[in-house]
Amino acid sequence: MSARNLLRLTLVARRSASTASASQLGFIGLGNMGASMATNLAKAGHQVRVFDVSRAAIDAVVAGSEGRASAASSANEVVPGASAVVTMLPSSKEVTQIYSGSDGLLAASKGNGTLFIDSTTGEPGVCEKIAEEAQQAGAVYIDAPVSGGVVAAKNAQLTFMCGGPKSAFDIAAPLLAAMGKKSIHCGDKVGSGEAAKICNNMLLAVSMLGTCEAMALGKHLGLNPNNLAEVLNASSGRCWSSEVYNPVPGVVPGVPSSRDYDGGFLCALMLKDLRLAQSAAAQNQVSTVMGGLACQIYSLMCAHGLAAKDFSVFYKFLQDQQNKSN
């Protein structure tokens, strides 16, 4: 970040801080996650101009905002007057389309030092490119993908993983606090948030699949699943998947395994993140033997009609035949 951009940003920050309850923001991307995030920003007292390709999505957010959200008729229209703009898009492809070029968001910010906070889950390399373009356009761009699903978004309980200069992170933090419970600064390099997220999700997939196999093996060896979970959680096999989100129905109340794997973090979304990880690994010449197999397993489960089931459904998939006969 150049000294000039940093100065602009600091001025913006002071302005925001002095008028915290009335800062002007932009928000683009009002899907399941984005709509809740924009609503939470409005609830926290901010004025938010919102845009989505679906007019109905815009209207719904505006209607639920107690007068603090207003409709924009294009993505670029949310920029003028906004100290910060949050984007929540389907993938890196849309990020490039909306931010980049002479008709993009960065150009629309006209060198006013706007802070762009991108919560899209995407490729670290794309974030780096947009950040460079932002700097040339007199704007600041950081990545801030989230962990936690639709329910966490609604309840402002998301975790944000952020990449970019610490100074920019510090300015973004109060806004993120209106949408989540925690923000982690993952690195000064833009894209570090995305990088941390795909590493986390790759490890999550591997440990979930391992947990499913360990629980299935234990069951076939005659162990009671609750006993086995207790042993694992007191031992070196302990992981988030065994403790908090156990894939065996009945071991942990309220998680997707206990409602036939409906809802939760869908196999299709895990597959998407694993493919981002595989792509990042290939570009950076890293071997990920277990992560690669995890990616194939989720691909196979999606081919078997489980794309819309929770990612812990591998426990059931492993033992498909037995379930049919029981």
Number of residues engaging its own copies in binding (CB under 8 A): 87
Degrees, nearest 5: CA angle 24-148-277: 105
User: Does 92 sit near its own copies (CB under 8 A)?
Assistant: no
The yes or no reply on residue 281 touching its own copies (CB under 8 A) is yes
- Dihedral sign of CA atoms 144, 137, 92, 190 in order: negative
| Residue 235 beta carbon to its own copies: minimum distance, rounded to whole angstroms | 5
Q: Contact at 8 Å (CB) between 29 and 54?
A: no
Within 119-138, which residues bind its own copies (CB under 8 A)? 124
Tell me which of 129, 197, 309, 316 is the catalytic residue: 197
* Nearest distance from C-beta of residue 212 to its own copies, angstroms: 9
Cα separation of 224 and 221, whole Å? 9
Q: Is 197 a catalytic residue?
A: yes
Indicate whether 294 belongs to the interface with its own copies (CB under 8 A).
yes
Q: How far is the CB of 161 from its own copies (least distance, A)?
A: 6
* Cα–Cα nearest to 142, from 156, 152, 130, 155: 130
Residue 5 CB, shortest distance to its own copies, in Å, is: 21
Interacting residue with its own copies among 201, 246, 257, 312 (CB under 8 A): 201
Q: Identify residues 204-263 at the interface with its own copies (CB under 8 A).
A: 204-207, 209-211, 213-218, 220-224, 227-228, 230-232, 234-242, 244-245
User: Which residues, in sequence order, are CB contacts of 32 under 8 Å at separation 6+?
Assistant: 150, 153
Instruction: Give the shortest CB-158-to-its own copies separation in angstroms.
Output: 11
Distance of CA 100 to the CA centre of its chain: 21
| Residues in 45-64 that interact with its own copies by CB under 8 A | none
67 in contact with its own copies (CB under 8 A)? no
CB 170 within 8 A of CB 40: no
The Cβ of residue 57 has, within 10 Å, a number of other Cβ atoms equal to: 19
Residues of span 140-179 touching its own copies by CB under 8 A: 147, 159, 161
Which run of H or of E encompasses 181?
Answer: strand 180-187
Cα–Cα distance, 323 to 302 (Å, whole number): 18
Does residue 297 interact with its own copies by CB under 8 A? yes
Cα 89-84-60 angle, rounded to 5 deg? 55
Task: Look at residue 86 and give its three-state secondary structure.
Answer: strand
Q: Footprint of its own copies on residues 307-326 (CB under 8 A)?
A: 318-322, 324
Stretches 22-30, 51-59, 83-91, 298-306: which one binds its own copies (CB under 8 A)? 298-306
Which of the residues are catalytic? 197
